[in-house]
């Protein structure tokens, strides 16, 4: 049985892909990564919003498109292929789902309607819930928050930050509030910026339905993991295509290197390992909305397995390019670094496999 995308999902995916091909070629990505073209980055964000990606998971009752996670996953693949410098996983996937599952009706009505109009955009910091560090505990008390959260996603263009404490309670803080300090976290992936946020008695709006349940934070993190896996899968697909194309053009000893058995085997291994990942990812995204019993296991399996396969593909695709693979001229390193950082976002393969084991009482 083949598990694939619908025509509507492919149409949505292709629109995003074409937008990035037309507006964000590698030269533009290079300038943005070097922080030389902030205006173009802003224009790209404004342009992608017109395609409706901010409204995918917002219910129709609140002005959104009311689509499921599989639509968002299809879009995330295209964003990974285009090595997009745009917010998505936190702002337009995790945040609306956390509000959908964790807020009361008044909060849902306000935040989701404002998000659908693009008046509010979220960055997300849930590291305290699944991977807390020493001396970083977030404390919620009397509508105030103090402490730190690490690896905050999608800070660019955000008006608010959504955070979770170790108990799974979720709160929203306006970035205009007093008592907020923002620290840059520099990673090898310069196409995206991550932040550490320090709160000092800042005003916070607690999502009221999260007091006694982790449903909202778990669903948001699970969805985010699928989106990050989709981003890595899209990046891996492009790296494989670039490796095959290069192997047909590059010649040694008057022969295309793609005719050499060693290079053939490397490309075949990448293709054979990568192809099943598409069905795995799509099935995990489908299960999120349609298979409550198995969705946690499928999410963990997709995130961990695709992280490992993408790492292998990024390594071998670079090797096929030889020394050229390490140069800024080709820009292959942008996909390579994206895959490497994605491996750690929202939990390494080791962390999510441990969660899968716990979910099965192993």
Do 278 and 233 meet the contact criterion of CB atoms below 8 Å apart?
yes
User: Which DSSP string do the residues of 247-279 spell out, in sequence order?
Assistant: HHH-EETTEEGGGSHHHHHHHHHHHHHHHHHHH
**CB count in 10 Å sphere of residue 292:** 9
Domain 121-210, CATH among 3.30.390.50, 2.40.50.100, 2.20.25.190, 2.40.110.10: 2.40.110.10
The architecture that CATH gives domain 215-359 is Up-down Bundle (1.20)
Residue 115 has pLDDT above 70, yes or no: yes
List pLDDT tens digits, range 170-184. Answer: 999 999 999 999 998
Structural domain spans, the chain: 7-114, 121-210, 215-359
Helix or strand run (H / E) with residue 153:
none
Contact 197, 127 (CB under 8 A): no
One fold for 121-210 and 215-359: no
Q: Under DSSP, is residue 6 helix (H, G, I), strand (E, B) or coil?
A: coil
Percent of the chain residues topping a pLDDT of 90? 73
Q: What letters, b where the CB count within 10 A reaches 16 and e where it falls short, cover 148-177?
A: bbbbbbbbbbbebbbbbbeebbbbbbeeee
342 in Cβ contact with 225 (< 8 Å): no
- The CATH number given to 7-114 is 1.10.540.10
Q: How do residues 282-336 score in pLDDT, each as one tens digit?
A: 999 999 999 988 999 999 999 999 999 999 999 999 999 987 888 888 889 999 9
Handedness of CA 348, 351, 357, 358 (dihedral sign): negative
Confidence of residue 134 (pLDDT cuts 50, 70, 90): low
* This prediction's pTM: 0.94
């Amino acid at each position: 049985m083949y598990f694939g995308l619908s025509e509507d999902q492919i149409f949505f995916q292709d629109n995003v892909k074409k937008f990035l091909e037309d507006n964000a070629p590698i030269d533009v990505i290079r300038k943005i990564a070097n922080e030389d073209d902030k205006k173009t980055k802003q224009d790209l964000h404004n342009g992608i919003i017109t395609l409706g990606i901010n409204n995918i998971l917002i219910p129709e009752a609140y002005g959104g498109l009311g689509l499921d996670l599989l639509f968002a996953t299809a879009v995330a693949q295209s964003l990974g292929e285009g090595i997009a410098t745009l917010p998505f996983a936190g702002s337009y996937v995790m945040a609306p789902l956390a509000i959908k599952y964790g807020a009361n009706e008044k909060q849902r009505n306000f935040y989701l309607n404002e998000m659908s109009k693009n008046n509010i955009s979220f960055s997300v910091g849930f590291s305290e819930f699944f991977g807390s560090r020493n001396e970083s505990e977030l404390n919620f008390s009397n509508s105030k928050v103090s402490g730190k959260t690490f690896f905050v996603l999608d800070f660019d263009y955000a008006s608010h930050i959504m955070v979770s404490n170790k108990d799974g309670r979720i709160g929203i803080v306006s970035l205009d509030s007093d008592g907020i300090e923002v620290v840059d976290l520099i990673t090898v992936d310069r196409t995206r910026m991550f932040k550490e946020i320090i709160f000092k008695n800042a005003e916070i709006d607690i999502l009221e339905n999260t007091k006694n349940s982790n449903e909202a934070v778990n669903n948001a993190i699970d969805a985010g993991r699928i989106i990050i896996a989709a981003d890595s899968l899209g990046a891996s697909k492009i790296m494989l295509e670039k490796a095959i194309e290069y192997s047909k053009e590059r010649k040694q000893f008057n022969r295309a290197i793609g005719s050499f058995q060693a290079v053939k085997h490397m490309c075949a291994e990448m293709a054979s390992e990568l192809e099943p990942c598409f069905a795995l990812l799509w099935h995990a995204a489908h299960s999120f909305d349609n298979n409550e019993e198995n969705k946690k296991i499928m999410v963990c399996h997709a995130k961990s397995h695709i992280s490992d396969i993408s790492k292998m593909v990024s390594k071998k695709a670079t090797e096929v390019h030889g020394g050229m693979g390490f140069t800024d001229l080709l820009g292959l390193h942008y996909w390579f670094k994206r895959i490497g950082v994605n491996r750690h976002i929202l939990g390494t393969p080791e962390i999510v496999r441990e969660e899968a084991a716990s979910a099965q009482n192993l």
